[in-house]
Amino acid sequence: MMRNKEIRIYFISIFLILLVGNVAVFLLNKTAGMIFLIAFLLTVVISIIFTLWRYRQIALLSQYLQRIAGGEYSVDIRDNAEGELSILKNEIYKVTVTLNEQANLLKKDKIFLANAISDISHQLKTPVTSMYVMVDLLNNEDLPDEKRNEFLRNIRSQLERLQWLVTSLLKLSKIDAGAVEFKKDRIKIRELIDKSLEHLLIPMEIKNQTLEILGDGNTELIGDFNWTCEAVSNIIKNCIEHTQNGGKIGIEFSETSLYTIINIYDNGEGISKKDLPYIFNRFYKAANSHKDSIGIGLAMSKSIIESQGGTIDVKSEVGEGTVFSLKFYKGVL
């Protein structure tokens, strides 16, 4: 205790003040001086005991923190009493719980990363192998021109897919690493949707699907235009792929004082109850996935939206259709 500087100063000053007082009282009256002396000694003893007790508590807390630093998260020091010390214990406990949780998340992340790498390798390997085969075949000089063109087209489409995969993975890893600065602009939803639809109108026309857009043209959200576009267009793309020819795709948006909501819906094949909890997981492929599907589009949408403090939700009925609800909160930014 005495190694703490403030305590040394405290005791020395108390001692000096009381000593001077005591001498003064002694000079005035001897009995009063004796009483004062006893009171003086008692005060010193009591303050030593209290200070010792308090330092003991602090020492206990620091021992406890050492145990946490050693990875032992299960010790509970909360005593549910009134007062600052108890509040401190409580706050330390809350920080411990958060740390523990983060440690668990890290562990999970490691496993996830290992799985993801094996998934990615697989995704890369399949087209590469098939391209090898086709290149070997192209080497054959007797190959008819017709076949040659077919192989070339095939190789080109495989390369496009590879390129898309690699670009998407790069974007995802950037978001994951927090390396993306999401802008906080006011975005007109209508403009956002028009931009998101840019590359999708043709596939929609090929499938002869109708598109409806409902909402007030002045509705806005606060976020990053390009990234949010990417998120929205991945979802619409998913809707187009899983809706039959002649089906309907719809986008509806509105704004409340707390958030802006965009609903993207279709009357397509729907998502089964079994798949529904996992569709935003990276590399997850539902039973009815497109054969070229990688399982990265929806995962990316979710990452983009959640990185901007928004939420994404899905409701689906097999055979009836699917609704994706995107919410962007105002107070978050």
Smallest gap from Cβ 211 to other proteins, in A, equals: 25
From the CB of 20, what's the least distance to other proteins, in Å?
Answer: 36
Structure tokens at 192: 């956002």
Which residues bind to other proteins, rule: CB under 8 A?
Answer: 74, 76, 78-84, 86-87, 90, 93-94, 97, 100-101, 104, 256-259, 276-277, 306, 309, 311, 313, 315, 327, 329-332
- Minimum distance of other proteins from residue 315's CB (angstroms): 7
Sheet holding 259-266, edge to edge: 210-214, 248-255, 259-266, 321-329, 311-317
Choose among 120, 59, 48, 122: nearest CA to 85. Answer: 59
Amino acid at 107: K
Specify the residue, 57 or 104, whose C-beta has the smaller distance to other proteins.
104
Q: Using CA atoms, how far apart are residues 233 and 196, in angstroms rounded to an integer?
A: 5
CB of 148 to other proteins, least distance (A): 49
Whichever of 40 and 259 has its CB closer to other proteins, that residue is: 259
> CB of residue 239 vs other proteins: minimum separation in angstroms?
19
Cβ pair 225, 182 in contact under 8 A? no
Comparing CB distances to other proteins, the nearer of 247 and 310 is: 310
Q: 253, 230, 216: which is closest to 328 by C-alpha? A: 253
Nearer to other proteins, 71 or 144 (CB): 71
Q: What is the dihedral of CA 272, 277, 279, 284, to 10 degrees?
A: -100
Nearest approach, Cβ of residue 75 and other proteins (Å): 10
Q: Given the complex with other proteins, which of 17 and 214 has the nearer CB atom? A: 214
Task: Tell the burial category of 288 from Cβ atoms under 10 Å away from its Cβ (0-12, 13-18, 19+).
Answer: middle
Please, are residues 326 and 197 in contact by the beta-carbon 8 Å criterion? no
Entry field: residues in the chain: 333
Site of tokens 């975005």: 187
Residue number with CB closer to other proteins (169 or 305): 305
CB of 286 to other proteins, least distance (A): 14
- Measured torsion, CA atoms of residues 239, 244, 246, 249, in degrees rounded to the nearest 10: -10
C-alpha distances out from residue 208 to 205, 238, 244, 269, 272, Å = 5, 16, 9, 16, 25
Nearer to other proteins, 127 or 295 (CB): 295
- Which residue's CB is nearer to other proteins, number 91 or number 191? 91
Closest approach of other proteins to the CB of residue 123, in Å: 24
